[in-house]
């Protein structure tokens, strides 16, 4: 009876530990999300580098030095205020960077969820292995109990035969 109760509890625990399709789907999405996060981070880094270059060029141009030839620039007077040459481009890069930051934030949240799902599946797999070991131990206990039962039946039969022998001798 105790073994049957333990078997029922073990079966219920194993049923609860079965992988959830949603967890499996989230874990499978890790292969797509991780490279995408890296790509977006790379794009964001490139934008940051381009923005820094523009800011550096803007600073040099404001001083009247050509950012390419490192000499006094003669075209500044023709184009007006040197700071205006870069402002629109910097604003455009800032806008692109903001969009990438939003996308990256969403991807990081999704990545965190998928990694948590992966950990949960790993945990469930470990607990399922433990449940399998318990099931094996339970099967072994049942086998030993059956052997004992057979041994008891044999002993009981031998005891009955001995009792009959004693009764005949009396």
State what percent of residues in the chain have pLDDT above 90: 41
Has residue 35 got a pLDDT over 60? yes
* pLDDT tens digit sequence for 68-92: 666 666 665 555 555 566 788 888 9
| pLDDT computed for residue 95 by the predictor | 94
Strand partners for 65: 72
With CA atoms as reference, report the closest residue to 47 among 99, 93, 85.
93
Give the pLDDT score at 55: 84
CA 64 from centroid of its chain's CA atoms: 54
pTM: 0.61
Buried b / exposed e over 57-79, threshold 16 CB at 10 Å, is: bbebbeeebeeeeeeebeebeee
């Amino acid at each position: 009876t105790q073994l049957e109760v333990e078997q029922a509890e073990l079966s219920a625990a194993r049923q609860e530990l079965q992988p959830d399709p949603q967890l499996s789907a989230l874990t499978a999405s890790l292969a797509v999300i991780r490279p995408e996060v890296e790509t977006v981070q790379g794009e964001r880094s490139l934008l940051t580098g381009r923005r820094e270059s523009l800011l550096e060029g803007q600073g040099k141009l404001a001083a009247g030095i050509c950012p390419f030839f490192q000499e006094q620039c003669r075209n500044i007077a023709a184009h007006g205020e040197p700071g205006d040459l870069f402002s629109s481009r910097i604003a455009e890069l800032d806008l692109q960077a903001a969009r990438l930051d939003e996308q990256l934030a969403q991807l990081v949240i999704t990545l965190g969820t998928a990694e948590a799902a992966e950990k949960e599946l790993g945990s469930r797999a470990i607990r399922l292995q433990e449940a399998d070991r318990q099931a094996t131990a339970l099967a072994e206990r049942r086998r030993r109990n059956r052997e004992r039962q057979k041994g008891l039946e044999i002993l009981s039969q031998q005891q009955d035969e001995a009792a009959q022998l004693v009764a005949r001798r009396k």
